Structure 1
Amino acid sequence: MDKVLILLAGFPGTGKTYLCNIINERLGPYVLVSPDELKEYYFDKYGYHNLEEKQMIEKEAWGKYYNIMENQMSSGRRIMSDYPFSKKQLPSLQLLTEKYKYKVITIRLTANLDILFERQRIRDLDVSRHLSHVVTKYQAGDRLENRSKADNLLTHDEFIERCTTRGYDTFQMGRLIEVDVTDFSKVNYLKLIEKVGLLSKDTVRTD
């Protein structure tokens, strides 16, 4: 089995998880490793009283993420992960892929930032969104039906600042596929998945 790592990268609100699930259905099985799901698990496990405590939990979640990645790579499994990856994650991921000689495909999703902010806002206001993403203190079981009252919602300026300074739009490992998803209806997902399938069988190893 080819040792392949697919990274669904790019700006928030670009449908990375959706695409991840489609690729897994059509080309899988892949081991799916989600930093956000790990963060949510640890937020539920520990809870936090302020943003400093939240950052400490996020640090533990990232440690677990890299541990899972290494365990899966040591077994030679095909892996897929979705996140707005940035320069922060690049060194650790490079070390792992070089150590275990993994092929890497980066699918970088981009879009108009104003449109993405609206998508992000709608998602954050949805009660199905894990509450920890939008509040400064959290304990498992907390509820907030009116999400507009959450005290850690991103403003437009904060969202744009994150997207333009963290390198979401430049992150790349291995072979790159870049897709503009400003209008989801114009994205040819079948063609994209076909390209991913071809590259996963015939792609260069990451440097």
Structure 2
Amino acid sequence: MKNTLILLAGYPGTGKTFLANRLLDRFPCFQMLSPDKIKEEFWDEYGFENCAEKEILIAKSWDKFYRTLKAKLENEENVICDYPFSDKQYDTLKQITSQCKTKVITIVMVADIDILFKRQKERDLDEQRHLGHILKKYHKGIKLENRLQADNLLSFEEFYNRCKNRGYDLFSLGETFRIDVSVLYPNMYDCIIRDIEKIICS
């Protein structure tokens, strides 16, 4: 049986990490590899003084993500990744998974943009959210008493343009499923988890 890569894609704020945890509970043979977690590790280790330095660290974090992913897939491990993937990542992911002969499943999560902006804002203001996401200057240990004062919070216009212009909702690699999470309800992921189980076991 081929090893499998599950890509949880789609708009920001759709609950990709929540679904990832559900999948990990159901399929303990999988492990999580998050591009955002690697970014946060780089931000904590090096810090940044401005947006240019921040972008350099983001580029380095993607290099590490791809190297780590390739090593895991070459070792025939099963991996879940959550991120608003787009054309920027498509070619590299396709190349890696083709070279490693890995089965790929993509789940594209979408919702009404107005709803997602509210969820994204709540997430950015949550104390558990890494400050590097919402600041233009960051070093580990920095404190921000009021997150509403963060200088890199997205406006609705910026959030809308990102969602609509970057093709988050169009990403597709391997067998692809699409879920609308505008309305959340109990057991809403049971069906998709059953579908994924069939593919993994085929």
Both structures adopt the same fold (TM-score exceeding 0.5): yes
In 2, distance between residues paired with 1:78 and 1:87?
23
- 1:175 and 1:36 map into 2 onto residues whose CA distance is 24
Shift of 1:28: 2.3
One-letter amino acid of the counterpart of residue 60, structure 2: E
* Counterpart Cα distance in 2 of 1:28 and 1:180: 26
Q: CA deviation at 1:112?
A: 0.2
Distance in 1, Cα, partners of 2:138 & 2:112:
32
Q: Per-residue deviation at 1:196? A: 1.0
Which residue in 1 is equivalent to 2:79?
A: 79
Residues 16, 109 of structure 1: 8 Å contact kept = yes
What displacement does 1:125 show?
1.0
Task: Give the direction of change, closer, same or farther, for the CA distance of 1:186–1:110 in structure 2 (3 Å limit).
Answer: farther
Which piece of structure 1 moves more, 7-16 or 27-36? 27-36
Q: Residues 167, 23 of structure 1: CA spacing in aligned structure 2 closer, same or farther, 3 A cutoff?
A: same
Q: What is the CA-CA distance between 1:16 and the residue it aligns to?
A: 0.2
Which structure 2 residue ranges, 5 or more long, are not aligned? none
Q: Take 2:187 and 2:104, find their aligned partners in 1: how far apart are those partners? A: 22
The one-letter amino acid of 1:158's match is: E
One-letter code aligned to 1:104: V
Q: Which residue in 1 is equivalent to 2:195?
A: 195
- The runs of 4+ residues in structure 1 deviating greater than 3 Å are none
Tell me what 1:6 maps to: 6
In the alignment, what sits opposite 1:177? 177
Instruction: State the alpha-carbon separation in 2 of the partners of residues 110 and 186 from structure 1.
Output: 18
Instruction: Give 1:181's aligned amino acid.
Output: V
- Structure-2 separation of matches of 1:127 and 1:188: 27
Scaled by the length of structure 2, the TM-score of the pair is 0.97
AA paired with 1:109? M
Aligned-pair CA distance for 1:186: 6.4
* Separation (CA, whole Å) in 1 of partners of 2:201 and 2:60: 34
Aligned residues: 202
SS state of the match for residue 59, structure 1?
Answer: helix
* TM-score (normalizing by structure 1): 0.95
1:1-207 mapped onto 2 (5 Å cutoff)? 1-185=1-185, 188-202=188-202
> What SS does structure 1 have at the residue aligned with 2:6?
strand
Looking at structure 2, the residues matched to 49 and 118 of structure 1 have their Cα atoms a distance apart, in angstroms, of: 28
Q: Deviations over 1:155-186 (max 9, x none)?
A: 00000000001110000000011110001116
- Could you give the per-residue CA deviations for residues 66-101 of structure 1, whole angstroms, max 9, x where no partner exists? 000011011011111000000000010000011011
Hey, what's the Cα distance between the residues in 2 that align with 1:16 and 1:187?
Answer: 15
- Equivalent position amino acid for 2:155 in 1: T
The letter for the 2-side match of 1:8 is L
Q: Percent identity between the aligned chains?
A: 43
Which secondary structure does the structure 1 equivalent of 2:169 belong to?
A: coil
Partner amino acid, structure 1, of 2:10: G
Question: Aligned-residue CA RMSD in angstroms?
Answer: 1.0
Q: Secondary structure at the match of 2:182?
A: coil
